[in-house]
Amino acid sequence: MNVYENYDKYIMKTYTRVKPAFVKGQGSWVFDAEGNKYLDFFPGWGTGLLGHCHPKVVTAIQEQAARLIHLPNNYYNVLQPELAELVIKRSFPGKIFFCNSGAEAIEGSMKVARNWGKDKGRYKFVTTFNSFHGRTFGALTATAQEKYQSPFKPLVPGFSYVPYDDLEAMDKAIDSETAAVILEPVQGEGGVNIPSKEFMRGLRELCDKKGCLLVCDEVQTGVGRCGYWFGHQHFGITPDIMAVAKIAGSGAPIGMIVAKPEIADLMQPGYHGSTYGGNPLVCAAAIATFKAIEEEDILGKAKALKEKFDGYAKRFKEKYDVVKDYRGLGAIYGIELKVPGAPVCAYALEKGVLANCTHNVVLRFLPSALMTEEELDFGMGVLEEGIAKL
Ligand SMILES: *Cc1c(COP(=O)(O)O)cnc(C)c1O
Amino acid at 150: S
The crossing angle, in degrees rounded to 10, of helices 55-67 and 280-295 is 150
The predicted structure's pLDDT at residue 110: 98
Is there an atom of ligand 1 within 6 Å of 312 CB?
Answer: no
Would you call 188 helix, strand, or coil by DSSP? coil
pLDDT tens digits along 58-114: 999 999 999 999 999 999 999 999 999 999 999 999 999 999 999 999 999 999 999
For the sheet with 22-26, list strands across it.
22-26, 29-32, 37-40, 353-354
Cβ 345 vs Cβ 357: under 8 Å: yes
Q: How far is the CA of 200 from the centre of ligand 1 (A)?
A: 21
What is the rounded distance in angstroms from the CA atom of residue 305 to the CA atom of residue 319? Answer: 21
Whether the model pTM is above 0.85: yes
**Residue of 337, 352, 349, 354 whose CA lies nearest to 388:** 337
The predicted structure's pLDDT at residue 1: 63
**Residue of 213, 203, 379, 227 whose CA lies nearest to 305:** 227
The predicted structure's pLDDT at residue 305: 98
CATH fold of the domain at 56-295: Aspartate Aminotransferase; domain 2 (3.40.640)
| Number of continuous H segments (helices) and E segments (strands) in the chain | 13, 15
Cβ 86 vs Cβ 290: under 8 Å: yes
Q: Return per-residue pLDDT of the chain as tens, 390 residues.
A: 699 999 999 999 999 999 999 999 999 999 999 999 999 999 999 999 999 999 999 999 999 999 999 999 999 999 999 999 999 999 999 999 999 999 999 999 999 999 999 999 999 999 999 999 999 999 999 999 999 999 999 999 999 999 999 999 999 999 999 999 999 999 999 999 999 999 999 999 999 999 999 999 999 999 999 999 999 999 999 999 999 999 999 999 999 999 999 999 999 999 999 999 999 999 999 999 999 999 999 999 999 999 999 999 999 999 999 999 999 999 999 999 999 999 999 999 999 999 999 999 999 999 999 999 999 999 999 999 999 999
Atom of ligand 1 minimally distant from the CA of 135: 9
Return the sign of the alpha-carbon dihedral for residues 325, 327, 331, 334.
negative
Nearest alpha carbon, ligand 1 atom 6: 102
Cβ 223 vs Cβ 256: under 8 Å: no
Determine how β-strand 362-365 pairs with β-strand 356-358: antiparallel
The predicted structure's pLDDT at residue 10: 96
Among 98, 219, 226, residue to substitute to test ligand 1 (most atoms within 8 Å of Cβ): 219
Determine how β-strand 124-128 pairs with β-strand 95-99: unpaired
Nearest-Å Rg of the Cα atoms of the chain is 21
Cβ 226 vs Cβ 330: under 8 Å: yes
Is there an atom of ligand 1 within 6 Å of 103 CB?
Answer: yes
What is the rounded distance in angstroms from the CA atom of residue 375 to the CA atom of residue 286? Answer: 26
The b-or-e profile of 36-62 (16+ CB within 10 A means b, else e) is eebbbbbbbebbbbbbbbbebbeebbe
Cβ 94 vs Cβ 264: under 8 Å: yes
The b-or-e profile of 338-359 (16+ CB within 10 A means b, else e) is eeebeebbebbbeeebbbbbbb
DSSP-assigned letters across all residues of 21-78: -EEEEEBTEEEETT--EEEESSGGGGT-TT-BT-HHHHHHHHHHHHH-S---TTS--T
> Rounded to 5 degrees, what angle do the CA atoms 353, 364, 318 make?
90
Is there an atom of ligand 1 within 6 Å of 134 CB?
Answer: yes
Is there an atom of ligand 1 within 6 Å of 185 CB?
Answer: no
Is there an atom of ligand 1 within 6 Å of 188 CB?
Answer: yes
* 82 Cβ neighbours under 8 A, 6+ residues apart: 283, 287
Atom of ligand 1 minimally distant from the CA of 101: 7
**298-365 in CATH: which number?**
3.90.1150.10
Amino acid at 238: T
* 302 Cβ neighbours under 8 A, 6+ residues apart: 49, 224, 225, 226, 227, 330, 331, 369
Per-domain boundaries in the chain: 56-295, 298-365
Is there an atom of ligand 1 within 6 Å of 184 CB?
Answer: yes
Is there an atom of ligand 1 within 6 Å of 332 CB?
Answer: no
What is the rounded distance in angstroms from the CA atom of residue 109 to the CA atom of residue 54? Answer: 30
